[in-house]
A and B are shown apart, each in its own frame.
Chain A
């Protein structure tokens, strides 16, 4: 009798261990995705944002940006608006933090004034688009808790389907569902559920390209809002890694002269 119990315990233990190694937890997947993207350093890019309303009318905006990876904390970002022409030269600088509020400043060139922006505005729209500020800011692992759901295909790729839950009370979402590509941990798709847990938006990543033989970046991101029928398309170009940016490129002075 005693032997049977022992054998059962051992079998159960073995099963548990196997199960644990085979199925990552959601957090493990998010951490792995962060790990494979470590060391990208700095980059610049250009962005064309196309807003489409329910009637199919399109408006475009041009933006370019500089980004710096920060060891042990969130990234630094500088975003400069090129069009519409009336906001040309307006620039925003964001220091993302893994824990706590991000720091954000906006430079208004017509009055030469740097304004501090409340980072508690996470759910508001970015430049009249379907992207909320929290969608375009640096996606730090610590900003969510995770729950593994299943393996599932997205964009024709084998993916881990993971639920993530925003830590911040200011988030506009109850949860997101993220599809991480199984082979390289890049994100293929995200579904955003509003505070009432109704599907609000779907973001699809496409035209991935690999840089420095390591880092994957999507050239196209398409956000569809299911509740208002509007869409926003982001087309990235001139994604350039290894441009050697330092903290000096993210000072108040740098923000004022950003072009």
Chain B
């Protein structure tokens, strides 16, 4: 089936699925609860600037399908969660990809829980960068902001205690970071050879990665301290011929601290990491805050202002180039019945004034549709920045999603 025909089929999915599939059902005494839900989305993305590399296009259609299955029994003390992910891109064969975001079984005992399977875990508090967040590999094909994550296979135990929560993770089956293919935008100029990826660990992608985290919410504070030992989620690139590059993944120890303090309408935030590998020791942090003007002039609108500063002593080696950058952002929630919202911001490098900006806005249409627009721009990109490779890839996107 060609991508185009597949796309059409996918967009038809919500119309084919009967509405009853999302209803929770209880089957007599067995107390089984079953839910099927999810969404399907169509995206149109336009790049106004000329492509830098051969094979790239100006405009792309793509579709996204995210089904979810939730199965609960034993009065909610045990459940199974599945979240699938399928992206179909008009041109880019690498961006056309599928993933199991979640597929795990969880069981709850009084104040602790055990889960086994593929999960997504988020740690952290800041908005422009997620330094502390390390459990899952980023899905770079879905966004260079590293917000989207691939599922990670793990055993996860969590205790909720008076003095906070303790989480233990044992992970394996490492997921490589994948980049757009030859016909895709937002990619490096060189070809990536994933077949020749090398690892510091002799067990390669089967290295057992371990993590521990203590986190606590009390009065005005939310604090987390975490440690990770295992294969770094961020690749280094090596080449023998200067044309084809293959990723290399080091073993690292990373300690992270995230702190958030609330004071009225002000949220103060900080994340700091200390990472060691055989090759290098690095420190990075993000500090800042967010102030919200609630119910502005009794209009119901919330206006948030965000200011953050990012430091990373990896410098240009940091994959998102947030090495010495300020982030100014704003968040608007209209709080209307369509849940209209907007998030926008600029990131500017303190030294070379490299500038990137973004805006994203969402609005519900009717009860189960959602329209979104997104724009990402780059300007004045300094040749020393990793972003220089994608300097012509500013884009605007419009999306329509159906939830079921």
Could you say which residues of chain B place their CB within 8 Å of the CB of A51? 337
Q: Closest CB-CB distance, A50 to chain B, in whole Å? A: 11
Task: Flag whether A257 is at the interface (Cβ < 8 A).
Answer: yes
Q: Given A128-B335, A128-B339, does the pair A84, B294 have CB atoms closer than 8 Å?
A: no
Q: CB distance A86 to B364 under 8 Å? A: yes
Task: Flag whether B260 is at the interface (Cβ < 8 A).
Answer: yes
Task: Flag whether A41 is at the interface (Cβ < 8 A).
Answer: no
Interfacial residues, chain A to chain B (CB-CB below 8 A): 51, 53, 59-60, 83-88, 101, 103, 105, 111-113, 116, 118, 120-125, 127-128, 170, 172, 194, 248, 251-254, 257, 259
Q: Closest CB-CB distance, B43 to chain A, in whole Å? A: 16
Count A-B contacts at CB 8 Å: 105
Could you say which residues of chain A place their CB within 8 Å of the CB of B176? none
Q: CB distance B295 to A86 under 8 Å? A: no
Task: Flag whether B160 is at the interface (Cβ < 8 A).
Answer: yes
Interface hits, B283-321 → A, CB 8 Å: 292, 294-295, 298, 300, 302
Listed A/B pairs (24) with beta-carbon separation below 8 Å: A59-B367, A60-B367, A84-B368, A86-B364, A86-B370, A86-B403, A103-B217, A105-B217, A111-B147, A113-B122, A116-B222, A118-B266, A118-B294, A120-B264, A125-B300, A128-B339, A170-B294, A248-B111, A251-B111, A251-B160, A252-B160, A254-B160, A257-B108, A259-B76
Complex Cα–Cα for A85 and B121 (A): 22
Could you say which residues of chain A place their CB within 8 Å of the CB of B39? 85-86
Could you say which residues of chain B place their CB within 8 Å of the CB of A121? 265, 292, 294-295, 302
A251 partner, pick from B72, B121, B165, beta carbons under 8 A: B165
Q: CB distance B264 to A118 under 8 Å? A: yes
Q: CB distance A85 to B367 under 8 Å? A: yes
Q: How many B residues, CB 8 Å from partner?
A: 47
Q: CB distance B403 to A112 under 8 Å? A: no
Complex Cα–Cα for A59 and B264 (A): 32
Q: CB distance A128 to B22 under 8 Å? A: no
Could you say which residues of chain B place their CB within 8 Å of the CB of A124? 294-295, 300, 302, 335
Could you say which residues of chain A place their CB within 8 Å of the CB of B110? 248
A84 partner, pick from B222, B295, B403, beta carbons under 8 A: B403
Task: Flag whether B141 is at the interface (Cβ < 8 A).
Answer: no
Could you say which residues of chain A place their CB within 8 Å of the CB of B111? 248, 251
Complex Cα–Cα for A254 and B22 (A): 23
| 20 further interface pairs, Cβ-Cβ under 8 Å (given A116-B262, A257-B108) | A84-B364, A85-B368, A86-B39, A86-B403, A87-B339, A103-B217, A105-B217, A112-B120, A112-B121, A116-B217, A116-B222, A118-B265, A118-B267, A118-B292, A120-B264, A123-B294, A125-B300, A128-B339, A248-B110, A253-B158
Q: CB distance A123 to B76 under 8 Å? A: no
Interface hits, B117-139 → A, CB 8 Å: 120-122
Could you say which residues of chain A place their CB within 8 Å of the CB of B338? 128
Q: Closest CB-CB distance, A231 to chain B, in whole Å? A: 12
Over the window 158-199 of chain B, the binary record of Cβ atoms lying under 8 Å from chain A Cβ atoms (1 yes, 0 no) is 101000010000000000000000000000000000000000
Q: CB distance B295 to A123 under 8 Å? A: yes
* Closest residue on chain B to residue A118 by CB atoms: B265
Over the window 194-226 of chain B, the binary record of Cβ atoms lying under 8 Å from chain A Cβ atoms (1 yes, 0 no) is 000000000000000000000101010010000
Q: Which 3 A-B pairs give the minimum distances between C-beta atoms?
A: A85-B403, A121-B294, A128-B337
Could you say which residues of chain A place their CB within 8 Å of the CB of B158? 253
